[in-house]
Each structure stands twice: as structure tokens, then as C-alpha cells.
Chain A
Amino acid sequence: MAAKSARRQQIEAAALYPLDWLEERSGLVGGVKYFLFRKVPRDTSWFHTLGSATLTAFLVQAITGVVLAMYYKPDPDSAYESIQYITNDLTLGWLVRGMHKWGASVFIILMFFHMARVFLFGAYKYPRELNWIVGVLLLAMGMLEGFTGYLLPWDQTAYWATVVGINLNGTAPVLGPFLAQFLSGGAEIGADTLSKFYALHMLAIPGAIAGLIVLHLYLVIRLGVTSPPWSEDAAGRERTEPAPSAGARAGLVRPGGRGGGSA
């Protein structure tokens, strides 16, 4: 590549100036760079993207949830109408509500895929046991989030699904009936239940999930990413060089690239 022209250098300096300003005063830019450009095994596979995908699904839920919370009314008399308003009258309300509703299923499914990937890759073994435990807690919190959110539309499906769900909790021995009564906020499901579930769904459980995600990511960064189980590097075997690709033979691949030298 040719030497940069003076004009280009000026533009780059101007673009980087805010980042330098921020870095000198907080060190955050360096932190983000460390996270984005940290070392991972050479043979990291696409399966390793499932964790980030789950995080993205959660962020989508959080953002759409905030928008929904601006228009939803957690009162039995107006909950259903507020959702009707969001779906039919609000600009793009149908889109936000749909994203939140389907995003919930996407979040749970991706969590299970991510859990299966970690399990099948053996990435829960020493020293990552704590990370696995944090992941289990995240799974439980995610399911509770879905359970509490299901009641909020306050229609027939929501009501009866919650009746059955709370009664399922009530079948646990000794403390089950007390848990069921605590969740329903009384003998019957009513206004108290809706407020309680709304508070759990909006404040308590997302807060817990956010905290656990921070811990989960900290452990991933600190402990590093494992190679896939088919990795030859991790098994300590001599790495077999793949035959040069057609592009390499034609001289189109930059020297020192993937199939080439090790450090």
C-alpha cells in the first residue's frame, strides 16, 4: 500500500482524536480494544459465536422491552388495552412487540444451543467450572424472565398459563404451597400478581441477568477460549499443513497468511 497522503493522515488524525481524548481520560478505549483484539485459538469455530448471539438476543429484548414499558400499563383493567394500543395504533408498535415476543423464544433457544456447545466441547472443565455455574444461573433466570413476562398481556392464555405454572410450583413438597401463594400474591391471581410479576420481569430478573452476564464475560476473558475438540493444536499433535489453496498457487494470497508460517 502506498504511503498515506497528507490529506489522508489529517483525516485519520481527526477521526481518532475523540478516541484518544476518551482514552487519556478513562482508559476505556484500551479496555474495549483489549476485549476485541484478545488472543483466541487459531482454530476457533463458528460454534463459538453462539454465546455472543445469545447476548445479542438479550440486548434486543432489553431495548424492545424498554420501549414496550413506556406504553404498557400494569393494571388488570388497562393491561390488555395498552397492548392493543401498542400493536395497532403506535407507530411500529407491532414491530417492537413482535420482536420482543419472538426474541424471547430466540433467546431461550440460543441459550440452549450455547449450553450444548459448551458441554460438547468440554469447555466446562477446569478452570472454567465457575463459569458453567454462572451459566446455569443465567439459564434459570432466563426461564423465570419468560415465565413472568408471559402473564403481562393479561389475556386468557396468559392468565391460565400462569395459573397452571403457579400451581406446578405449589406441588413441591413442604414449601410448595407457600411459594405458590407468594407468587400469586393471595388466594387468586389478580392485580397483586400482575404488579409482582411486572416488577420481577422489569427490575429484579433483568438486573440479576445483567450482573451475571458481566461475571460470565469477565470469566470468559480472563480464562480464555478453548479450542474445539477436533483441534490438533490443543492435542499437542504436529499441525498438518493444509495444501496451498488455488489462490495461493496463483500468487493471490498475501504471504504469511493462514496456511503459512507459525510464529
Chain B
Amino acid sequence: MFIRYNGLEDGKPSFTTLYSRCAHLGCPVQPNGLVDEEGKKTVGDQGIELTPVNVTGFGCPCHGGQYDTEGNRTAGPPVRALDRTEFSIRNGNLFLGKFYSVAEVQGAGARARIKRYGRQVPGVHVDGPSAWLYPIEVP
């Protein structure tokens, strides 16, 4: 999951929660961008190193699918944008809800207009003429 805080929208905090599985075949998508070497830190008792990245987009290492910061597909074999989740905030904690699939996102951040559909497996078109091949949604 990739989670980004978008600031306040109508007084409520807004988040962008992108599912990191590629919409082509499900490989883990990685953030593209310059690596911030100074911000490197080690966490946990097993010494796991975390290096922050100035994210300019996402890319899939398996077959080269590229996405922008909102999860829209910009290049490569993926058939739609990255899936997202609904989210809610209770007691100051962020809870992730149901997954849904996205055809396209216009705009960015808190004011994004998301064309959402029911959740589909990778490789399934959710709109356009190819969507007629997948008429039945998996419950």
C-alpha cells in the first residue's frame, strides 16, 4: 500500500491510498524518483534500513508498467490505474476499508475525481470496449 497525506479538505484530512500491486499481473510496484540519502534511517531490532524517495511516479519492475503519482497508467502493459481503498478516520487512526478498482483519476490529491468500479483482478479492463469481456464481477 502507498499512502499519501493530502492535507485538509473541508476540514477533514484527506489521504490517497494506492494498492501497490500492479494492474497488469500483480507484481509489487515501486516508487520512482530521486533517493533521499540523508534521510536514511534504521528501524526495528533487526536493523531494517528505510530510505525515503521523492516520489515522481510508480513503476513496476516485472514488465515495466509506469504510473503517475495518482496511480494513473502512463506507460506499459497495465490495463487500468492502480486500485485504491476506501478509508476512514477513527480516534485519530487511519482505517483502510474496501478495495475498489479505478479506470482513471482526473485532478490530484484531495480534489481528485476518481472513476471507480468494483474490485477486479489484475488484467481486467473496467471501462471501454474491452470491459464487455468481463461482464460479471467477482463478489
6 contacts between A and B (CB under 8 A): A170-B124, A171-B124, A173-B134, A177-B121, A178-B138, A187-B119
Picked from A160, A163, A166, A177, the residue with its CB within 8 Å of the CB of B124 is: A177
- Distance of B23 from chain A, by nearest CB (Å): 10
Chain B residues closer than 8 Å to A173, beta-carbon distance: 133-134
The 8 A CB mask of A164-178 against B (1 = contact, 0 = none) is 101110110110111
Interface residues of B (CB under 8 A from A): 21, 25-28, 62, 99, 119-124, 133-138
Contacts of A187 in B (CB 8 A): 99, 119
Separation in Å of the A180 CB from the closest CB of chain B? Answer: 5
In the complex, the answer to whether B122 meets A170 with C-beta atoms within 8 Å is yes
Distance, CA A184 to CA B68, complexed state (A): 29
In angstroms, how far is the closest chain B Cβ from the Cβ of A190? 14
- Once bound together, how far apart are the Cα atoms of A181 and B119, in whole Å? 12
Instruction: Kindly report which residue of chain A lies nearest to residue B120, judged by CB atoms.
Output: A177
Contacts A173-B133, A176-B134, A178-B138 hold; do A163 and B121 have CB atoms under 8 A apart? Answer: no
Q: Which A residues are CB-close (under 8 A) to B26?
A: 160, 163-164, 166-167
Please give, as numbers and ranges, the residues of chain B lying within 8 Å of A171 by CB-CB distance.
121-124
In the complex, the chain B residue whose C-beta lies closest to that of A180 is: B121
Enumerate chain A residues within 8 angstroms of B62, measured Cβ to Cβ: 164
Sample of 5 further A-B pairs with CB below 8 A, known A166-B121, A167-B123, A171-B123:
A163-B21, A163-B27, A171-B122, A177-B124, A181-B138
B123 touches A168 (CB 8 A): yes
B134 pairs with A167, CB closer than 8 A: no
Report the separation of the CA atoms of residues A160 and B138 in the bound assembly, to the nearest whole angstrom. Answer: 22
CB of B28, distance to nearest CB on chain A (Å): 7
Closest chain B CB from A213 CB (angstroms):
33
CB atoms of B135 and A164 under 8 A apart: no
| CB of B59 to closest CB in A, whole Å | 16
> Would B134 and A174 count as touching, CB distance under 8 A?
yes
Chain A residues with CB under 8 A of B123: 167-168, 170-171, 176
Chain A residues, CB < 8 A from B27: 160, 163-164
Q: How far is the CA of A43 from the CA of B85 in the complex (A)?
A: 68
> Which residues of B lie under 8 Å from residue A174 when comparing CB positions?
133-136
CB of B98 to closest CB in A, whole Å? 10
Given contacts A177-B134, A177-B138, A167 and B28 within 8 Å (CB-CB): no
| Residues of B close to A167: CB separation below 8 A | 25-26, 121-123
CB pair B134 A181 closer than 8 Å: no
Q: How far is the CB of A167 from chain B (nearest CB, A)?
A: 4
A168 to B26, CA, bound (A): 9
Query: In the complex, which of the residues A168, A170, A178 has the most CB atoms of chain B within 10 Å of its own CB atom?
Result: A170
Interface string of A186-197 (1 = CB under 8 A from B): 010000000000
Provide the residues of chain A in CB contact with B25, threshold 8 Å.
Answer: 163-164, 167-168
> Known: A174-B136, A177-B138. Is A160-B121 also a contact (CB below 8 A)?
no
Q: Which residues of A contact B135 (CB under 8 A)?
A: 174
Contacts of A170 in B (CB 8 A): 121-124
Note all chain B residues with C-beta closer than 8 A to A160. Answer: 26-28
Please, how many angstroms separate the alpha-carbon atoms of A168 and B121 in the complex? 9
